Amino acid sequence: MNTAILELREKLDAALAAAQSVAELDGLKVEYLGKKGSVTALLKNMGKLSDEEKKSFGREVNELKDYAAEKIAEKAAALAAAELARELDAVETFDISLPPVLDRGSFHPVTLVQRRCEAVFRSMGFQVEDYSEIVTDYECFESLNIPPFHPARDMQDTYYLDNGQLLKTQTSAAQNAIYKKYKDALINEGKPIKAVFPGRCFRNEATDACHENTFFQMEGVMVGKDISIANLIYSMKTMLSEVFENYGLKVRLRPGFFPFVEPGFELDISCQICGGEGCPSCKHSGWLELCPCGMIHPNVLREGGIDPDVYTGFAFGLGLTRLAMMKYGVKDIRDLNSGSLVAMSQFTEDK
């Protein structure tokens, strides 16, 4: 074989052995077999050869062309097969005879605790009411004995819409509508008003382990003749004992000021995370402020169309998100809004 042809063939063999990709092979095809490729370039030397030599040189060049085309195609097929094998290895194998795993998801811990509270209150004869998240200033403040510029508004800064409405800061915003809805049955039929209304609340405030700008409360009211603080304490203790399935649960009442109750209280429960010893979730006090409450202020009853000289009532505003923290041992309230499915799907009791 002609030395130049032999050298070129050896060079091609080495390049083919080193090639790792189809792109490299395409490059080799151009380099060897293209119009300006090395095999075609060999033919330029033909002029210097005798007729006899031309014949055998031409044949050897053609053989080299066929050899190059064949070897490049072979290598391309080998690379494609290796690539397919790699892809197949990467695909997870599965056994089609295994039973299917149906992940049905789970309720959010706040939903679980809300449902539980609703069930307890329903069992005590309360209606469960729904209310909007966008409310008027009248609903959220004025009807609750908080006139414009009242200092109590400072503690509940919120998000205002251009039309003057606002994202409700407290579920108390539904109180006035509830009184108006049920007052006729109270006055004409003597049916006490007993309702709870859970809802999402919004406040423009910095977040920490026990504060969020978006959280849930559950409001409750009972209005009738001779409703007293004893009714309030009984209802709260029953609900909390049922939720925590702890009938020796410790609660304490402290005086608390809210313009829409008189007298007003803060109902705290012993911290269920640290057992009352003090931790960041309870601000190291051993108690968690959970449920402000009190006897409904006469002005609020009157604004709802109910005569405070005839009827009395209690109201409470339970912190549902904090209740979920206590119930499920969630140490940081922000975890509840984190959207982490892994964290939230641990609470599957009511799937």
Determine the residue with CB nearest ligand FA5.
Answer: 319
Name the segment binding ligand FA5 (CB under 6 A); options: 190-198, 203-211, 231-239, 341-349. 203-211
Is 215 a binding residue for ligand FA5 by CB under 6 A? The answer is yes
3-state secondary structure of 74: helix
Is 294 a binding residue for ligand FA5 by CB under 6 A? The answer is yes
Provide the CB-side half-sphere exposure for 338 (13 A, CA). Answer: 14
CA distance 300 to 175: 9
Is 211 a binding residue for ligand FA5 by CB under 6 A? The answer is yes
State which of residues 24, 142, 289, 335 lies at the interface with ligand FA5 (CB under 6 A).
289
Is 321 a binding residue for ligand FA5 by CB under 6 A? The answer is yes
Q: What are the beta bridge partners of residue 162?
A: none
Name the segment binding ligand FA5 (CB under 6 A); options: 41-49, 95-103, 224-232, 319-327. 319-327
Is 172 a binding residue for ligand FA5 by CB under 6 A? The answer is yes
b/e per residue, 224-236, with b = 16+ CB within 10 A? beebeeebbbebb
Name the segment binding ligand FA5 (CB under 6 A); options: 7-15, 100-108, 215-223, 243-251. 215-223
Look up residue 176 and give its amino acid.
N
On whether the CB atoms of residues 326 and 244 are closer than 8 A, the answer is yes
The binding track of 220-259 with respect to ligand FA5, each residue x by CB under 6 A or -, is: --------------------------------------x-
Q: Which two tokens stand for residue 263?
A: 């007298």
Is 293 a binding residue for ligand FA5 by CB under 6 A? The answer is yes
Is 292 a binding residue for ligand FA5 by CB under 6 A? The answer is yes
Name the segment binding ligand FA5 (CB under 6 A); options: 35-43, 112-120, 291-299, 303-311. 291-299
Rank residues 42 and 135 by Cβ distance to ligand FA5 and give the closer one: 135
Is 322 a binding residue for ligand FA5 by CB under 6 A? The answer is yes
Rank residues 19 and 146 by Cβ distance to ligand FA5 and give the closer one: 146
CA distance 136 to 198: 18
Using DSSP bridges, classify how beta strands 193-202 and 127-128 pair: parallel, antiparallel or unpaired: parallel
The sign of the torsion formed by the CA atoms of 41, 47, 49, 50 equals positive
State which of residues 31, 60, 205, 332 lies at the interface with ligand FA5 (CB under 6 A).
205
Rank residues 270 and 321 by Cβ distance to ligand FA5 and give the closer one: 321
State which of residues 9, 71, 183, 203 lies at the interface with ligand FA5 (CB under 6 A).
203
Look up residue 130 and give its amino acid.
D
State which of residues 139, 317, 326, 344 lies at the interface with ligand FA5 (CB under 6 A).
317
Annotate 52-63 with DSSP letters as a single string: HHHHHHHHHHHH
State which of residues 39, 140, 218, 261 lies at the interface with ligand FA5 (CB under 6 A).
261
Annotate 232-262 with DSSP letters as a single string: HHHHHHHHHHHHHT-TT--EEEEE---TTEE
H or E stretch covering 267: strand 261-270
**Nearest of 272, 259, 77 to residue 155 by alpha carbon:** 259
Q: Prior bond to 109 cis, omega within 30?
A: no
State which of residues 32, 287, 316, 347 lies at the interface with ligand FA5 (CB under 6 A).
316
Rank residues 304 and 317 by Cβ distance to ligand FA5 and give the closer one: 317
CA distance 14 to 147: 91
CA distance 157 to 168: 10
On whether the CB atoms of residues 124 and 235 are closer than 8 A, the answer is yes
Name the segment binding ligand FA5 (CB under 6 A); options: 32-40, 81-89, 211-219, 276-284. 211-219
H or E stretch covering 188: helix 175-189
Is 109 a binding residue for ligand FA5 by CB under 6 A? The answer is no
* Residues contributing to the site for ligand FA5 (CB under 6 A): 170, 172, 203, 205, 211-212, 215, 217, 219, 258, 261, 264, 289-290, 292-294, 315-317, 319, 321-322, 333
